[in-house]
Chains A and B, each alone.
Chain A
Amino acid sequence: MKKKIVSVLLATAMVASLLVGCGGISSNKSDSSGSTGDAKASGDAIRIVNGKIEIDKQLKAFAKDYEERTGQAVSIESLGGGVDIQGTLKGYKAADNMPDLFVIGGDGDFANWGDYVADLGDCEWASQTDFAYKDESGTVVGFPYAVEGYGITYNADVLKEAGVDPASLTSYDAYKTAFETIEAKKDELGLTAVCSVAAESGQMYWSTGNHLFGYYLTGGLERDDTSVFDDMMNGKYDEDRLGEFADFFSLLCQYSDKQTLISGTYDDQLALFAQGKSAFITEGNWIDPSLPDYDATFDCGIAPLAFTKSEMTSILADSPSWWCAYKDSKNLDAVKAFLDDLATSEEGQKCLVTDCGMISPYTTCTVEPETPLARSLKTYVDDGKTSSWEWSNMPEGIAQKATGVVFESYAKGDIDKAGFISTLETAINDYTAQAQ
């Protein structure tokens, strides 16, 4: 009998512990405005999933500062460096653990999250930028935190020594002449190659299939001109434009370091340029923070990837990703207040521009960037000489699975110009048909 009592007691204890553990009391807090005085419990902190791990430290510093100023705790969770961000977010969604703010990279991601984002149109910052993410009906749903731009980045010191004016690099012929001039003086300039281009399809597909090809889509066009992109999605191509683009890519390959071109990684490509061994690189202002690692002391700037015979004076610049607010977040008002502060306050501008080394997408921003490529990019943004990143709206994975290999084959010389154009068109058509 005694035994039975013991077992009953044990069973009761087990049941009780199960109930306590799994029952869970969920609390619905009603007050969540951001500006109230006292510091709140961590359960009320705004949780942000940031997709740009490079600025993790700076954002955390800003979050701490923000908490001191307003009492609203903010926790930053940075993903990146090879982590599949969207996959992680999907996991959070499945586990009912969505952050208040999360990152999206364009139409492809937005298609997944469209039902779950909040309208941010009434925020103060929304009217101060051209770079916000808008859904199909024009509602502002994505918070831009940076503008990134790319084209052909040049080593200004080398160009000066070779007697090439960077401002003249606005057409195919100008580039051809410049490349020839520098090629002739390669030894005295200490270069191993004129250009640093990487076209290997396994790891550099994003550079060729996304970035370079992006110039075909919007290079030289007005910011809202998506005609070439729309045509492409319908299987139509501007043959002349694509032909000029093919010629220009071929020119780049011809003057590029061969090993870097066909087997180089991002590090190889960057090292060649940063060590002063090449005059040009097909990357953008994101290489700014990496240049000091190579003790690069030269001045540099961004020129348009002007593949056309006619003049092209604008570069491709846009917000690389946006923060969206989760619709069911309990902290929505606090989130909006935080975003306003990050975009418009002096501390916020300093965080984005000075600390993170980015360009602020906000017209009201008065803080000037300090790194060379950011400064170069800012002149284009200020002059309105930018075209949009329509490539980020291509079907997901197209560069990796379809177009990257075409660029690689063309770079290696496996196919000629006509082959490049026809296979590129087939690859894109097949891919878009399959994706829809």
Chain B
Amino acid sequence: MKTKKPMAIGLLILGIVSILLALYLDVTNLQLSYNLTAKTSFSINGMLLIIGALLVIVGMYTFPTRKHKKIINILFLFPLLFSFAVTVLVPFGFGIFYSMTDWNGIDFNKFVGIANYVTMFKSADYLYSLLITVIFTVVNMILVNFAAFALALLCTSKVKGKSFYQAAYFLPNLIGGIVLGYVWQFIFNKVFTTVIAGSDSMLTDPNLAMVAILIVSTWQYAGYIMMIYLTGLTSVPKDVLEAANVDGANSWTTLLKIKVPMIANTFTICIFLTLVNSFKQFDLNLAITNGAPARVLGEKIIQSTEFLALNIYNTAIGKNQYALGQTKAVVFFVILAAVSLTQVSISKKREVEM
């Protein structure tokens, strides 16, 4: 029993050291290789990493402690934790790191601290994008939820052919955003200008172009949100509704005093989804306007409908400023996380417990 502990600790240390060594070799681009023959050689960087990881696992397993079971639980979760770390946590960490360098997508030369963040908040195009994204998010959230709730009420009423309507309203959501965007661009540019002869396309006016994106976005997303409201509305117990009916509540009162409070948690989900999705709007934005039309602001002219996600994309890809784009993406994440967490915590308080 007494020899077990030092052995486990030894294994752990050895494992960690070899992992660190492997990572160090990788970062510094050194290849430790073992020449098998003249033509083939064996790179042991990767092997070192795996052996290290295995040593750590064995060390943890053999570590004598009362929390043995907990350690085993963690070991069983390891595959999942590992893939989560590799696909989400590590890239996120790298992202934050790159935002403080002059990374160009290939390599970086120096560490610039918060210079990118300063540049970002000083650039007019970013601030403008932030502003219109916030406006778009608020308006779109309201429009989508109103439309979706209205459609859900319609689909739970006694109207004939309900399932047809449900399917029809949901259909736009099944079409990809890019396809849908180009179809609607055609409609705005060609169909509308032909129907109202002599008029210019909505997409040539900065304000109307924004309205155009709102229309398409609502049209696309309302059906999806409607489905969630629909589930909420059908889950309202019949006995409560009957009791309200017996008490003489009209349909309006029933809606406001019974149905809405009963499905408050549905509202939380729907508002959360629309908020996040509107804020992240990218595909429709890219396909319908790609930032156009131009808006003249005094001495400067800017793209009037470039939302944040598109701005980030254009910064990194269009302008080849990967580090600055990454900086914007980090701030994008922070804003999104802050706003949605606040929204959820506020909405949670209004929910009715069954």
**Residues on A facing B (Cβ under 8 Å):** 15, 18-19, 22-30, 84, 86-87, 90, 93-94, 108, 112-113, 200-203, 258-259, 262-265, 268, 395-397, 400-401, 404-406, 408-409, 412, 414-415, 422-423, 426-427, 430, 434-435
Contacts and interface: CB of A to CB of B under 8 A. Distances in A.
A202 B307 CA distance: 13
B201 A401 contact: no
Interface string B292-332: 11111001111100000000001001111000000000000
Contacts of A434: 119, 123
A262 B200 contact: yes
A23 B291 contact: no
Interface string B121-151: 0010100000000000000000000000000
Contact of B294 (A263, A268, A414): A414
A25 B290 CA distance: 46
Nearest to A19: B47
Interface in B47-92: 47, 49-50, 54
Contacts of A200: 203-204, 292-293
Contact of B203 (A30, A263, A430): A263
B39 interface: yes
Contacts of B320: 86, 108, 112, 396-397
A268 B295 CA distance: 23
B317 A201 contact: no
Nearest to A399: B318
A262 B104 contact: no
B57 to A, nearest CB: 10
Given A28-B39, A415-B296, A90 B319 contact: no
A396 B319 contact: yes
A110 to B, nearest CB: 11
B201 A201 contact: no
A406 B189 contact: no
A202 B43 contact: no
B28 interface: no
B193 interface: yes
Contacts of B104: 112
B253 interface: no
B318 A397 contact: yes
A90 B105 contact: yes
A201 B319 contact: no
B95 interface: no
Identify which of A23, A30, A202 gathers the most chain B CB atoms within 10 Å of its CB.
A202
9 residue pairs, one from A and one from B, having the closest CB atoms: A202-B292, A202-B290, A405-B294, A397-B319, A397-B318, A90-B105, A263-B201, A201-B292, A408-B294
B193 to A, nearest CB: 6
A18 B292 contact: no
Given A24-B43, A84-B317, A112 B294 contact: no
Nearest to B304: A405
Nearest to A268: B189
Given A259-B189, A265-B185, 20 more contacts: A15-B54, A18-B50, A27-B40, A29-B39, A94-B106, A108-B320, A200-B293, A202-B290, A259-B193, A259-B201, A262-B204, A263-B200, A263-B204, A268-B189, A400-B291, A401-B125, A412-B293, A422-B299, A427-B301, A430-B300
Contacts of A202: 289-293, 303
Interface in B191-215: 193, 200-201, 203-204
Given A22-B47, A201-B294, A405-B303, A435 B319 contact: yes
B179 to A, nearest CB: 13
B251 interface: no
Nearest to B36: A25
B111 to A, nearest CB: 19
Contacts of A265: 185, 189
Contact of B46 (A22, A414, A427): A22
B291 A201 contact: yes
A105 to B, nearest CB: 11
Contacts of A18: 50, 54
Interface string B177-190: 00000000100010
B42 interface: yes
Contacts of B125: 401
Contacts of A19: 47, 50
A265 B203 CA distance: 12
A427 B300 contact: yes
Contact of B106 (A22, A23, A90): A90
A263 B184 CA distance: 13
Contacts of B43: 23-26
Contact of A28 (B41, B46, B318, B319): B41
B105 A112 contact: yes
B18 to A, nearest CB: 14
B34 to A, nearest CB: 10
Contacts of A408: 292-294
A88 to B, nearest CB: 11
Contacts of B33: 26
Nearest to B57: A11
28 contacts: A18-B50, A24-B43, A25-B40, A25-B42, A26-B43, A28-B41, A30-B39, A84-B317, A86-B317, A87-B317, A113-B106, A201-B294, A202-B289, A258-B200, A259-B200, A262-B293, A263-B189, A263-B200, A400-B318, A401-B314, A401-B318, A405-B293, A405-B301, A408-B293, A412-B293, A415-B296, A427-B300, A435-B319
Contacts of B291: 201-202, 400
A212 to B, nearest CB: 16
A99 B293 CA distance: 39
Contacts of B319: 395-397, 401, 435
A409 to B, nearest CB: 5
Given A26-B41, A112-B320, A414-B294, A405 B302 contact: yes
Contacts of A29: 39
Contact of B42 (A23, A201, A404, A423): A23
Contacts of B290: 202-203
A412 B33 CA distance: 64
A240 B104 CA distance: 38
A25 B317 CA distance: 35
Identify which of A203, A258, A406 gathers the most chain B CB atoms within 10 Å of its CB.
A203
Contacts of A84: 317
A409 B40 contact: no
